[in-house]
A and B are shown apart, each in its own frame.
Chain A
């Protein structure tokens, strides 16, 4: 990616081996790599060095991962990519609700990790949601004008489906928890949000994915939430 300012990465992990591996994997995308071994050091570094992305391990000796996310979010909107080891899907959803942007499960592959870092950096550089018509596979979508088409054939979406699509597009590349999506689209978490959400997502996929059984843009993170990917990360 040419002509962009040098990016700074902050890696928070108490294992020196992981810190080195993360810095090494991200060296193509982040020129500067800062490290911290504890949650307090991480908060301190984030305040003073203004990193462009934070990679946060959850097994820190001093603070809970959720707590570090919460405290970071008190003063910065920097993307947070969480490294989790043995955490259940419910715990991951809790982290995302506390302000994390994405998570990678150990042991992660370098390619997967680089894709996630890139997606976060891209999001950070472009804080506003994408404007104008977007090409999503064979579909063209314009969320502002509320129009979708496959070639010349218009695709009809219901108002709720548009609302859901807008929310996902505005947070493209980011895993949205069920709670976050429901709050954004329905404005509350009353009732039985998850089952309606699943059915709406199924309808969206059937309308906007070439193959609803092999979705490339409307990705399910089982037990956690959904992520909209403009450019499929794994190049399927």
Chain B
């Protein structure tokens, strides 16, 4: 780190001489009153000097002061005076106690000072991370956040250049997304280069001055599944000019951070950990760029879908007015005896239905079809569906067979359920021979209610059975102007599935097909015999 430790005070070089001067002064003062003071008072006075020295000049000064005071005490204040000989064994105790107290006090003070210094450094780091976090969140555009982070890292670590590389959408190649400081211009990250290796391996690497590389072991994924896996403290030695760190979020590499310097990069373990934390911020910012790009894309898709929906709705609406006029005119022509007038009217209806089908398909695809799922009775769905197909049915019969007695309840949207049945009935009527009746069976099966529409049409080959439900499907060999656009069955299945039902196809014994529409069954509320 560029500025580790507290800046030295201008009084620092005077600490030692001043401390010894204080010791000398105290000695002189005590010497003057040697006969009248107790040994304990002398020891306490010396201890004060030792503690003061330790606090001001650190551990070494404290120990030195203790040692010197020890000899002064012995020489001047313990009888016999002016010798280092000690007469009273208790004086030994006083002397040794003084020495030990002085040294321990010096040690404790120094340790407290070191802790305070570490705490101060952490406070600085936390402050920088807070600045970084604020920069990341405050910057409006996600890409600008990356530039802000590169600037903060470059200035915090005091390196010449900081660059952030992110993967191009679609994976593979990396590009430089942000740079701060004096960086060399790179257009594209060399796919065979060190940055690409770091991104691929998810492990840090270093570039040496002699252009050789040093790589670290890949990190093991976090056991607790946490978002941030600290990188291992690998050994960087020698003339390291650049460090490359993978940017990882949830064990996934999202980019590469590169710091480069014109002198060897020297980072102590605390500095490396700090770089690690900064890299995590950068990784979050890269992820934010990625997510916001995805959100923008999703929003664009949504808007395009809405536009398509609105366009289809407008077209379908605008078509209805001229179609109404066409039908009215065709009716008038038919009244005057024009034979083809009826087909004009039915073709107008067909056109209208095709546009309505396209609109519904678009809404189904966009998931914007409104559905009201509620209790309905099978009678009503069938009755409304038969009423709707009465036009295309003509003289042909639809035989309804209720296999389950009583009122059968289903959960579904009545409008869309009727449409499913109508589409299945129309399909059956379209492909049935003119004399053959279409059969509709209603039955309860466990927790489902089935509506089975059976026809005597040509049947559907097994290979085609899934394809009949695809959009714009037409049976092989169908003339281009027969029937609709091949949307009826696709819409029926999609509508059924949208409301928790299903449509499936089985061959009918004796020829033809059975299309079965099922919905969740519902219990019909019991109404009193006299009717509530």
> What is the interface of chain A, defined by CB distance below 8 A to chain B?
15, 17-18, 20-22, 24-25, 59, 85-86, 88-90, 106-111, 157-161, 194-196, 198-203, 205-206, 211-215, 219-223, 234, 236
> What is the interface of chain B, defined by CB distance below 8 A to chain A?
313, 316-317, 320-329, 331-332, 345, 348-349, 352, 370, 372, 374-377, 379-380, 382-384, 386-387, 390, 400, 402, 407, 409, 413-415, 418, 524-525, 527-532
A30 → chain B, closest Cβ, in Å?
Answer: 15
Kindly list 12 other residue pairs between chains A and B, CB separation below 8 angstroms, not including A106-B321, A107-B323, A107-B349. Answer: A18-B325, A20-B325, A21-B324, A21-B329, A85-B317, A107-B324, A108-B324, A109-B349, A157-B531, A198-B377, A212-B383, A222-B418
Q: Which residues of B contact A107 (CB under 8 A)?
A: 320, 323-324, 326-327, 348-349, 352
Cα distance A203–B530 when bound, in Å?
12
Cα distance A203–B400 when bound, in Å?
18
Whether A195 pairs with B374 at a CB distance below 8 angstroms is yes
A110 → chain B, closest Cβ, in Å?
Answer: 4
Cα distance A222–B317 when bound, in Å?
21
Whether B327 pairs with A110 at a CB distance below 8 angstroms is yes
Q: Which residues of B contact A161 (CB under 8 A)?
A: 531
Partner of A222, one of B377, B407, B414, B531: B414
A205 → chain B, closest Cβ, in Å?
Answer: 6
Q: Which residues of B contact A25 (CB under 8 A)?
A: 328, 331
**Whose C-beta in chain B lies nearest to the C-beta of A212?**
B379
Cα distance A192–B407 when bound, in Å?
18
Partner of A198, one of B352, B375, B382, B400: B375
Whether A199 pairs with B525 at a CB distance below 8 angstroms is yes
B531 → chain A, closest Cβ, in Å?
Answer: 2
Whether A236 pairs with B390 at a CB distance below 8 angstroms is yes
**Whose C-beta in chain A lies nearest to the C-beta of B524?**
A199
B416 → chain A, closest Cβ, in Å?
Answer: 9
Partner of A159, one of B329, B415, B531: B531
Q: Which residues of B contact A199 (CB under 8 A)?
A: 377, 407, 409, 524-525, 527
Cα distance A199–B370 when bound, in Å?
24
Q: Which residues of B contact A111 (CB under 8 A)?
A: 331
A208 → chain B, closest Cβ, in Å?
Answer: 13
**Contact A86 to B374, CB < 8 A, known contacts A17-B321, A106-B320, A107-B327:** no
Whether A85 pairs with B321 at a CB distance below 8 angstroms is yes
A-B contacts, 6 of them at CB < 8 A, read: A158-B532, A195-B374, A202-B407, A213-B386, A215-B387, A219-B387
